A and B are shown apart, each in its own frame.
Chain A
Amino acid sequence: MRKTAVLVAGALLLSGCVGGPPKAGGKVSGDKIVLGVLNDQSGIYADLSGKNSVEAVRMAVEDFKAKYGAKAVTRNIEVVTADHQNKSDVAGSKAQELYDRNGADVILDVPQSASALAVAKVAKDKKKLYFNITAATTELTGKQCNRYTFHYAYDTYMLANGTGTAVTRQGAKNWYVVYPDYAFGQDMQKSFTTAVEKAGGKVGVKDPTPFPNDNFSTFLLKAQNMDPRPDVLGTMQAGGDLVNLVKQYNEFGLRDKGIKLSVGLMFLTDIHSLGPDAFAGTTFTDAWYWNFDARNREFADRFLKRTDTRPTFAHAANYSAALQYLEAAQRAGTDASDDVVKTLEGHSFEDVFARGGKVRAEDHRVIHDAYLAEVKPKSAVTEAWDYERILRTIPAAEAFRPVNESGCTFS
C-alpha cells in the first residue's frame, strides 16, 4: 500500500515537473484586446462605481467599434471583471491574474487607496497599463507613480483645491475644518488649508475626528460656540460618516446660525442617500455631472437605459478611460504597452467625460475640467437624480496639482 502512495506521489511530482511553472496565459498579441475592470462590487464603493462601471466600459467598447468599424485595430475586444472586496491583497493577486491569465492589456477603476497602490505596483512589474479612476490618493501620480499607471477623474488635491479656493473667494473667510483622522482626511485637510489660505481666507480651527464615527455633536457644538463664529464648516468626511455629520448638522440648525456647509468629497449617490434638502446649498467639487449639458445628458440617457440609474462621475470616467485606451491602441496600431504609453503621453483629447482633457507626460495625471457644484433644494429638483447646479467650471490647468509639486519620477 505504501508503494502505491509513493507511486502516486511520484507521479504527481513528475507531472508537475514536466508542466513547470504555469506560463503567463492569454494572448497579448494585437488581435485581441482585453480590458479588465477591477473594483469593489459589494462594499462601500459598489454603488458609486461597481458593476455599473463595467457597463460603462462596455459602452465605450461599443462606441469604439461603431466609430472605427473594419478599420479598428481589432474588433475582438473583451471586458473582464473582478471584485477586489476592498482588500489590497485580493486586489494585488487579482490584478496579476487579470494581466497573466485573462490577458488583460489594461486594468481600470480600482477604488480604495491601498488597493489602488498595490495594483500600480503590479502594473509596473508586469509592464501593463493601468488607469486608476476611483482612488483619491495623490500618491499614484506622486512618489509612487510609474510609467504604466495613469490617474483619472479626481484626487484629494483636486477636491480640496477646487472647493477651498472657490468658497473662500465667494466670501467665506473663516473656516472650521473637521477631518477624519486617517490618510484621506489628513491629505484633504492639508490641501484644503493651503487652498483656503491662498485664496485669502483662514482656517481658524481644524479638528481630527474619529473614524468611523456616528456622533459628531461634539464638533458641531464646538462650531456654534466659537468666537468668532466660523463662516463655514468644511467637512472632509466621506460615505457613512458624511451622512452622519450632515444629519446632525441639520439637527443642530447650524445653517440657520450662519455656518455654511462645504464638503470635501461628495458623490451623487451621497446626495441621493439623504435627499437634496439635507445638503441644500452645500458646495463641493465634482469631476463631472450627468445633467451639465446636452452631451452629458445623452450619455446619461443611454446609461439609464442599461442600468436603471444615472451615472456618477466614476461611471463616466471609466467610460472615458476605456475609450481613450482604445483610441491610443488605435493610434499606435498595437496593444504593446510601451507603444500605447508613448501615444498617450502628452495627448490632448475631448470626450463626454473629459473636457480639455490631457494626459500629462510628466506624472501621468489625466487632467480635465472640474466643476464647482451646489446641491439644489428639493423644490428645484425636477427629475430623479437631478441634484446639482454647476456654479463654475474649473479649467483643467487649474483643477489639478501642478506638475512641479507632484514629486513623480519614472524610475
Chain B
Amino acid sequence: MILRLVARRPVLLVVGLLIGLALPWFVYPPIAMDIATWALLAVAVDLLLGYTGLLSFGHAAFWGSAAYATGLLGVHTGVPFPLAVLGGAVFAAALAVPIGYLSVKRTGIYFAMVTLAFAQMVYFVANQWRSVTEGENGLQGIPRPLFGADLSEPFHFYYAGLPIVLFGLFCAWRVVRSPFGRVLVAIRDNPARARALGYPVDRYKLVVFMISAALAGLAGGLSAVSHGSASLQGVHWTTSGQAVMMVVLGGIGTLWGGVLGAGLVVQLEDYLSTAQFNGPGIVTGSVFVLVVLLFRKGLWGTVAGWRRGRVE
C-alpha cells in the first residue's frame, strides 16, 4: 500500500515535508539541522552530476567560503541570519564564476580533477588569510538574530532554518523541471548534438554551476549559523568528498536521493564518533565501494526502479 502511495507525487511531497518537520523529534536537533544542510549540499552536487554530467569534487569551496561570508556578515553587521545566509550564497555564486569559467573548459573526469584542485587552492587561501578567516582557529561566535526571536535552542533553530533548506530544494527542483533543465540533460547525454542544435553549451554549464554553487553556499552558510562557527574543515576536500558520497549513496540523477544519502551519512558519522571504532573511513569507504560496484542507482534509484517494475 505504501508503494502505491509513493506512486503519487503530491503524497510523496507531503510525506517528505512531514518527515522534514518531524525530524528533530527523532534526531538530536543539531544533527537534524546537519542532515538538512548536507541534504541541500548533496542536491546541489547532484544538480551538476546527475543532470549535467559534471562531477564536482570541489563543492567544499562554495560550502566553506559561503560559511565564512555568512559568518562575517553575521558578526559584523548583525543582519537577520537568513539575510546573512543569502549573502553567503551570493558570495559562493560569485566565486563560482571564475572557477566555473575555467572548469567547464574541461569535461568528464578532468572536470572533477580541476574542481578539486581549485577547491584546494581556496583551502590554502582560507588557511593563510587569517585576518579574514581566523585561520585554523575558525570564525567563532556567529550569531543567529531573527527579529528578536530566541533561537538559542537548536530545536527552535531547526524550524527557523528549515525554510531556507526547503527554498533551496525547491529551487533545485524548479531548475530540473524547467526548459533550462531539459537542455542540461540534453547536454549531459550528447554535448556535441546540443552544440549542433545551437545551444551555447559552455554558458549553460557555467550557469548551472553557479546555481549549484549558490545552493551549496546556502547550505554552507546555514550550517555555519547552526554551529556558530565557520572553519577550515568546511573548505577541505573531505567535505566535497562527503557530499559526492551522499549523492552516490542516494542515487545519482534522482535529486531527492541526495537527501536520503545525507541522512544516512550524517547519522553514520554521528554513530561512529561514539562507537569507539578506530577508522571510520573503513566503514564509510567500504559502503561507498559496494554501492559504486553493485548499486549504482543508489538507494532512491533502486527503490524507484523496483517500484516501477511492480507498477508495470
Contacts and interface: CB of A to CB of B under 8 A. Distances in A.
- The reply, when asked whether chain A contacts chain B directly with Cβ atoms under 8 A, is yes
Interface of A: 1-2, 4-5, 9, 12-13, 15-16, 19, 21-22, 41-42, 51, 81-90, 92-94, 96-97, 101, 112-115, 117-118, 120-121, 125, 137, 139, 144, 181-184, 186, 208, 210-211
A89 B227 CA distance: 6
Interface in B212-240: 223, 227-229, 231-234
A117 B138 CA distance: 8
A5 B5 contact: yes
A93 B269 CA distance: 12
Nearest to A101: B28
Nearest to B226: A89
B237 to A, nearest CB: 13
B274 A81 contact: yes
B128 A182 contact: yes
B77 interface: no
B189 interface: no
A113 B128 contact: no
Nearest to A184: B136
Contact of B28 (A93, A113, A211): A93
Query: Is the contact region of chain A dominated by helix, strand, or loop, or is it mixed?
Result: helix
Contact of B18 (A13, A117, A121, A137): A13
Given A41-B276, A182-B127, 6 more contacts: A21-B29, A85-B269, A93-B30, A114-B136, A118-B231, A183-B134
Contacts of B280: 42, 83, 85
A82 B228 CA distance: 20
Contact of B233 (A86, A101, A210): A86
Interface residues of B, number: 50
Nearest to B156: A21
Interface stretch (B39-47, B147-155, B180-188): B147-155
A113 B136 contact: yes
Contacts of A4: 1, 5
Given A5-B11, A22-B25, A93-B34, A118 B228 contact: yes
Contact of A114 (B25, B29, B232, B278): B232
Nearest to B142: A121
Contacts of A86: 233
B274 A82 contact: yes
A121 B273 contact: no
Interface string B267-303: 0011011101011100000000000000000000000
A19 B25 contact: yes
A22 B153 CA distance: 10
B28 A89 contact: no
24 contacts: A2-B5, A2-B8, A16-B21, A22-B29, A87-B233, A88-B138, A88-B229, A89-B227, A89-B231, A89-B233, A92-B30, A93-B270, A94-B273, A94-B274, A101-B28, A117-B138, A117-B229, A118-B227, A118-B229, A118-B231, A144-B141, A182-B128, A186-B130, A208-B128
A273 B276 CA distance: 25
B154 A16 contact: no
A125 B137 contact: no
Interface string B120-145: 00001001101000111110110000
Interface in B163-192: none
B31 interface: yes
Contacts of A2: 5, 8, 11
A92 B57 CA distance: 26
Contacts of A181: 127-128
B206 to A, nearest CB: 30
B117 interface: no
A5 B14 CA distance: 9
B83 interface: no
B283 to A, nearest CB: 11
Interface in B92-146: 124, 127-128, 130, 134-138, 140-141
B140 A42 contact: no
Contacts of B31: 93
Nearest to B128: A181
Nearest to A114: B138
Contact of B231 (A81, A93, A114): A114
Contacts of B29: 21-22
Contact of B140 (A9, A16, A51, A118): A118
Given A89-B229, A182-B127, A16 B1 contact: no
A184 B137 CA distance: 8
A187 to B, nearest CB: 9
A114 B68 CA distance: 13
B272 A9 contact: no
B4 interface: yes
B229 A121 contact: yes
Nearest 7 interchain pairs by C-beta = A114-B138, A183-B135, A21-B155, A114-B231, A88-B231, A93-B30, A16-B25
